[in-house]
């Protein structure tokens, strides 16, 4: 199987590439990104090419030339950045998706596109948020993600394209930094505490959001795509979560391991509004029942592992 990862230079892509290489073989995974400097870096560890996923002709050439069977479409402008430029967010997020779906239809590829907790909004039940519920997001990012879920289901039912997706919560990782998201605080805090002993949170102390540690997120990306389609009642998209915590709870867990670490709050009004509109905790029983989703990492084990990994990264 030949797999193309579009938007591979971001937080998920840089870790998905080695995960895919381990599962499917190095020669079968192609990484791509718009930025040439990122592609040069990617080339050190994988086959990589630079092209713009919004340019259909270049995208088609790549899918055809490399005989692609599966596309991971990771191109995205995230929630907080999206609010700064909604038109750009729509054109990038939807443009890359529509091109991916069209090429999947033409070349008979399967497509994975991450959706997000961003599909939910103020009118969604916040506790144990059901798989099938109200989706009226308050952000352009969420509007794109709901539209993306609908388009992906449409391409499946109308054209038979094998589209699958999960609604990612915040993803915590120690490789490439996330950028422009509302949940980024849960990554940034580890670097700041280890570098300076202090972190100032843009998110209020008692705001709960779902989170996943990267190894579980990677498992979701491949397990869903490899599962027997006959078992899928849903496709676009599945709630997945491994933990739900507030900044206060995360900071307490870090303090127990980094004595003397201090925390303060300087609330970002955009992130405050977005985080308040998202679920406190999601019900992911559909993913568990339909394709065996079963995350391994908890708040405590994730904090231990993050601190160890970032200490090594920062040579501390
Ligand atoms: C964001 O915060 O925008 C993303 C997401 C939850 O989709 N991490």
Mutation to probe ligand 1, out of 78, 137, 140 (largest number of atoms < 8 A from CB): 78
Query: In the Cβ-directed half-sphere of 262, how many Cα atoms lie within 13 Å?
Result: 3
Place of tokens 């994730």: 302
E strand or H helix that includes residue 111: strand 110-112
C-alpha 23/C-alpha 164 separation (Å) is: 19
Report the chain's C-alpha Rg in angstroms. Answer: 19
Alpha helices by DSSP H, the chain: 13-24, 36-42, 56-65, 79-84, 86-107, 140-159, 185-196, 214-226, 247-255, 269-277, 285-291, 299-313
pLDDT digits over 219-252, tens only?
Answer: 999 999 999 999 999 999 999 999 999 999 999 9
- Cα 223 to middle of ligand 1, angstroms: 21
- Cα 180 to middle of ligand 1, angstroms: 8
Tell me what pLDDT residue 80 has: 97
Ligand 1 site, residue 10, Cβ cutoff 6 A: no
Tell me what pLDDT residue 265 has: 98
Asked if residue 237 has a cis previous peptide bond (ω within 30° of 0), the answer is yes
Looking only at the bridges linking them, the beta strands covering 209-213 and 170-172 are parallel
Task: State the pLDDT confidence band at 208, using cuts at 50, 70 and 90.
Answer: very high
Tell me what pLDDT residue 283 has: 98
* Atom in ligand 1 nearest the alpha carbon of residue 278: 6
Tell me what pLDDT residue 64 has: 98
Buried b or exposed e, range 272-296, using 16+ CB within 10 angstroms: eebbbbbbbbbbbebbeebbebebe
Tell me what pLDDT residue 71 has: 98
Tell me what pLDDT residue 285 has: 98
- Cα 47 to middle of ligand 1, angstroms: 28
Structural domains present in the chain: 3-169+214-239 (3.40.50.720), 171-211+242-313 (3.90.25.10)
The pTM of the full predicted model, rounded to 2 decimals, is 0.97
pLDDT digits over 92-121, tens only?
Answer: 999 999 999 999 999 999 999 999 999 999
Residue identifier of the C-alpha nearest atom 4 of ligand 1 = 181
Average confidence score pLDDT of the chain: 98
Please compute the mean of the pLDDT values over residues 46-51 and round it to a whole number. 97
Query: In the Cβ-directed half-sphere of 39, how many Cα atoms lie within 13 Å?
Result: 16
pLDDT digits over 266-285, tens only?
Answer: 999 999 999 999 999 999 99
Please count the other Cβ atoms lying within 10 Å of the Cβ belonging to residue 3.
Answer: 26
Residue 12 near residue 70 (C-beta atoms within 8 A): no
C-alpha 260/C-alpha 98 separation (Å) is: 49
């Amino acid at each position: 199987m030949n797999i193309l990862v579009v938007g591979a230079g971001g937080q998920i892509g840089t870790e998905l590439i080695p995960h895919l290489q381990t599962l499917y073989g190095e020669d079968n995974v192609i990484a791509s990104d718009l930025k040439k400097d990122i592609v040069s870096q990617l080339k050190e560890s994988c086959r990589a090419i630079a092209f713009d996923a919004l340019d259909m002709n270049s995208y088609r050439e790549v899918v055809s030339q490399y005989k692609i069977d599966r596309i991971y479409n990771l191109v995205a402008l995230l929630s907080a950045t999206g609010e700064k430029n909604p038109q750009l967010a729509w054109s990038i997020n939807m443009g890359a998706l529509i091109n991916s779906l069209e090429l999947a239809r033409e070349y008979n590829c399967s497509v994975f596109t991450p959706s997000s907790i961003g599909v939910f909004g103020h009118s969604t039940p916040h506790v144990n948020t059901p798989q099938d519920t109200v989706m009226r997001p308050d952000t352009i990012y969420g509007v794109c993600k709901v539209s993306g879920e609908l388009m992906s289901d449409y391409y499946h039912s109308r054209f038979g394209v094998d589209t699958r997706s999960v609604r990612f919560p915040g993803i915590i990782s120690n490789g490439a930094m996330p950028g422009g998201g509302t949940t980024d605080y849960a990554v940034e805090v580890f670097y700041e505490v280890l570098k300076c002993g202090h972190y100032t949170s843009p998110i209020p102390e008692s705001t709960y959001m779902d989170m996943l540690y990267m190894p579980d997120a990677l498992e979701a990306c491949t397990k869903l795509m490899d599962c027997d389609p006959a078992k899928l009642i849903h496709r676009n998209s599945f709630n997945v979560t491994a933990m739900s915590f507030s900044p206060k709870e995360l900071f307490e867990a870090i303090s127990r391991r980094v004595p003397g670490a201090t925390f303060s709050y300087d609330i970002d009004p955009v992130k405050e509004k977005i985080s308040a509109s998202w679920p406190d905790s999601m019900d992911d029983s559909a993913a568990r029942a339909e394709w065996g989703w079963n995350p391994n990492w908890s708040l405590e084990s994730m904090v231990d592992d993050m601190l160890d990994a970032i200490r090594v990264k920062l040579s501390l």
